[in-house]
A and B are shown apart, each in its own frame.
Chain A
Amino acid sequence: MYTASDLRKGLRLKIDNEPYVITEFNFVKPGKGQALYRCKLKNMVTGSQFERSFRSVDTFESADLREKKMQYLYKEGDKYCFMDNENFEQIYLTESQIGDAKNFLIDNIEAEILLFEDRPIGISLPNFVDLVVTEADPWAKGDTVSGATKPVKVQTGYTIQVPTFVGEGEKIRIDTRTGEYLTRVKG
């Protein structure tokens, strides 16, 4: 059982016997009114979404989901293959079940595979991944203070906006939840 103060992005709830995940979370409050927690909820099986706000007195059932660490092996057609490192069992996820995680999947990365009634239904990556910039225009010095960004490509083929001072070959940290650049990483 959860209370409203537990609500946050990524929390999983059971609503009408279906597993839902909070994909957007925001504190809202009419100036003179009560504090509310506005959530965008996504059905973890069908992908359908809805938005609503909850009050601080509301309570929620937790979704009975199981996560298992598995290793990403390869992609075949539109199937992504993962292996359970304990029993070497392999499972497959479709492109739509993978979603944006495909932008951050590098070979052998460990990801949490989500099981709902023993069926694989999704994936969650670590919140932050470090990826190498493989294509970037050179930095014209003096651009720093403009606050400008430029697009670069990282090793997974994903294109991302970064500050102009980031160069090719550098490792950058990306927030997998937003897909946005955070900072450069040494080494």
Chain B
Amino acid sequence: MSASNLDDIFLLARKKEALHLRARLIQNIRLFFIEHGFLEVETPLRIPSPAPEEHIEAFPSGDWFLQTSPELCMKRLLAAGFPLIFQISKCFRAGERGNLHLPEFTMLEWYVTKFDYLQLMSQCEEMIFAVAANMDIARHCTFRNKKIDLTPPWEKITVQEAFEKYASVTLEEALNKNKFDQIIVDYIEPYLGVNRPTFLYDYPAKLAALAKLKDGNTNVAERFELYIGGMEIANGFSELNDTEEQRRRFEQALQLRTQKNWTQYSMPEKFLQALQTMPESAGIALGIDRLAMIFAHALQIDDIISFTPEIL
């Protein structure tokens, strides 16, 4: 049964307001980074080796893959002496479709040389607040029927503290039973970013494929996630720039992929070489679609993009 042409027009026409808002959001984000001295870059969508991570699946594209994030190429730019860079690009992840997931989505990624994750959290606050203020929604943003004030500073809570406060099992138990993600989703996420955005930070070291470990506490990685209205918006970290350590982590992930009989990726050798000259830096990936949802009070990701895969 195919919907009539009138029904198709109806579906798109009712998105008019949301699509205008989405466009303004992207324009304002661009403006912020340009005003702060960042260089906008474009890196290839089609790449030979995605970063080997356990839970991210790339779509094959010929002999290569569609990028799951622009991370590896952007870090090669950092290593080549581009200190402040940002990119707004499409990313592709196989098997991801839900109210908050699209197999093709829009990511904002930016990197700052000489920053660590704490400084990057502040800049993230500043960016989203500035963009929202420009769009006149900074103080009266409503999402999932909750008023959210975007005025900095935002709430910060470590993963350890969040487990103590909201979960009935300890962080260690959750990790041992392979239930970390489940506990986060069921018991912790709903309380994050409810009245103001929340940074959940200091992730267990084993849950950080590309992040630097904390000085003096190698159980913890300098990684954070931003939540607004119970929804994950961004993931950032102090970048690991130790080639040997990075190779060891990738080898582990590649081995696991072989064991589980998943699509095999090759070792991203050029990226590993580049790490040798990559300065101390921090980087963050932010889901533009989800931020647009917050600004548009949309309950599902379908509402703030023009075409979902299902109506193509």
Contact = CB atoms under 8 A, between A and B. Distances in A.
Contacts, number: 86
B101 interface: yes
Contacts of A36: 181-182, 185
Nearest to B185: A53
Contact of A31 (B10, B12, B235): B235
Interface stretch (A9-17, A113-121, A140-148): A140-148
A187 interface: no
Nearest to A181: B7
A183 interface: yes
Given A38-B185, A52-B186, A32 B53 contact: yes
Nearest to B190: A51
A165 interface: yes
Interface in B1-43: 1, 3-4, 6-7, 9-16
B248 interface: no
A163 B185 contact: no
Q: How large is the interface on B (under 10, 10 to 19, 20 to 34, 35 or more residues)?
A: 35 or more
B105 to A, nearest CB: 11
Given A26-B98, A27-B98, A183-B7, A32 B209 contact: yes
A155 B141 CA distance: 41
A144 B13 contact: yes
B237 to A, nearest CB: 10
A28 interface: yes
A29 interface: yes
Contacts of B9: 144-145
Nearest to A148: B14
Interface residues of A, number: 28
A173 B180 CA distance: 43
B13 A53 contact: no
Contacts of B56: 32
Interface string B96-120: 1111110000000000000000000
Contacts of A147: 10-16
Interface string A128-156: 00000000000000001111100000000
B4 A33 contact: no
A173 B14 CA distance: 20
Given A32-B207, A144-B13, A163 B182 contact: no
Nearest to B7: A183
Nearest to A38: B185
A36 B187 CA distance: 14
A171 B181 CA distance: 46
B168 interface: no
Given A26-B98, A184-B4, A55 B55 contact: no
A41 to B, nearest CB: 13
A142 to B, nearest CB: 12
B6 A29 contact: no
Contact of B100 (A28, A53, A145, A182): A28
A51 B186 CA distance: 8
B3 A183 contact: yes
A148 B9 CA distance: 11
A110 B256 CA distance: 51
Interface string A147-178: 11000000000000001010000000100000
Nearest to B2: A183
A133 B302 CA distance: 28
Nearest to A31: B235
B232 interface: yes
A53 B55 contact: no
5 contacts: A30-B184, A32-B53, A38-B185, A173-B1, A182-B3
Given A32-B55, A32-B207, A55-B181, 18 more contacts: A27-B97, A29-B98, A29-B181, A30-B225, A30-B232, A31-B225, A33-B184, A35-B96, A36-B185, A51-B186, A53-B186, A55-B178, A55-B179, A146-B13, A147-B11, A173-B1, A184-B4, A184-B7
